[in-house]
Chain A
């Protein structure tokens, strides 16, 4: 079962309202999940919304790898 995560810029995470509850990567981006964008924008397309926020869709494995990266 594919559940998606995404990496979005911190400023966009503030816009969405998840900056205080989500983890940040070493580069300062914020890792979110599909549920975080349910009430953001129009429609259900998570990938489209992530793209609009200038982010990248990730799998669970990729999201974990992003959080483990160091500078």
Chain B
């Protein structure tokens, strides 16, 4: 008869400490919805998670320190899936679809078991990265499973939006030197950057202030309007303006948002004031031959000379109404208009007894629509408004 007893060597369980060292970044990113920018962008500078498993043998048989790992696996679980795994239990084959492999976009595993994360986590999603591995217990020949996890998340930030115009708060149109149309360009920026038009839709509206109201600029009511309503660049002809406050309003919408069809109370606004203003100028009546007219002369030529700064203006009547008048050198004489234009030939008969020649300049007013006595606007055969 044989009596049997089983003898076993019982080892004290190893003390195992598992850490996931975060290198090259943080578990939390920031995302700016307006610019669709991740900070930092892991596609540029990846996050690296390096597992470190430290063992300590209470029996003193195995040397303590970093343990060699086998069977390293990483999983990327949506947070709700991760929450379904009971606390303290290990990830099993039922979650193998979340196992990170060479084919998993945005993740790769280095030779030392580190996980390289190049994926950006879009707000408000959260991802749980789970590390599992085995460490051999050389005392018993068994494998000890270890597991740890981290949570990747993203915070969302809003950046300030700003609307600016490429014109100053007020600017002048010089009717003498400035010609042609002018473009006022609006620039909408999110966080100081022009938004990607494929990701951010924008809308612009242009108004002109009329008293205390703002009127949407249109070609029917505003002769100065050339083009550009509902675009970021308004084109106007300042010849038709005396002084005007032009207001731009803008709205923007991100993916999934609705772009308003009209400016809301929260719209972005920018404005500029255009003023039509002649520069400083002076003028003189230049009398050809001098003020003492030869008795044999039949006419004396008077010419209007206008200077703007140091420069003599050619053809002043292009910019002014030049008015010539005369007053006889007798008591009670009245001024009477002689004529108009850059110069005038005055018959000597008019000045035989002496006379004062008057020269006046009137600045042109802005162009406007020609109207009849009933204030009806005149048009040509094509329906175009006649302007003066």
Contacts and interface: CB of A to CB of B under 8 A. Distances in A.
Nearest to B41: A60
Contacts of B191: 1-2
A31 B39 CA distance: 15
Contacts of A60: 37, 41, 44
Contacts of A34: 40
B44 A64 contact: yes
Given A1-B37, A1-B159, A36-B24, A21 B44 contact: no
Contacts of B40: 3, 5, 33-35
B46 interface: yes
Contacts of B46: 21-23
A21 to B, nearest CB: 4
A67 interface: yes
Contact of A36 (B30, B43, B45, B116): B45
Give the interface SS of chain B, mostly helix, strand, loop or mixed.
loop
B25 A35 contact: yes
Interface in A8-41: 18, 21-23, 31-36
Nearest to B39: A3
A26 B358 CA distance: 81
A21 B23 contact: yes
Interface string B150-180: 0000000101000000000000000000000
Nearest to B43: A64
Interface in B38-57: 39-41, 43-46, 48
B35 interface: yes
A21 B21 CA distance: 12
A64 B120 CA distance: 14
A23 B45 contact: yes
A66 B25 CA distance: 20
Contacts of B44: 5, 23, 31, 33, 60, 63-64, 67
Nearest to B191: A1
Given A1-B192, A31-B45, A35-B40, 8 more contacts: A1-B159, A3-B39, A3-B40, A3-B41, A5-B45, A22-B45, A33-B45, A64-B43
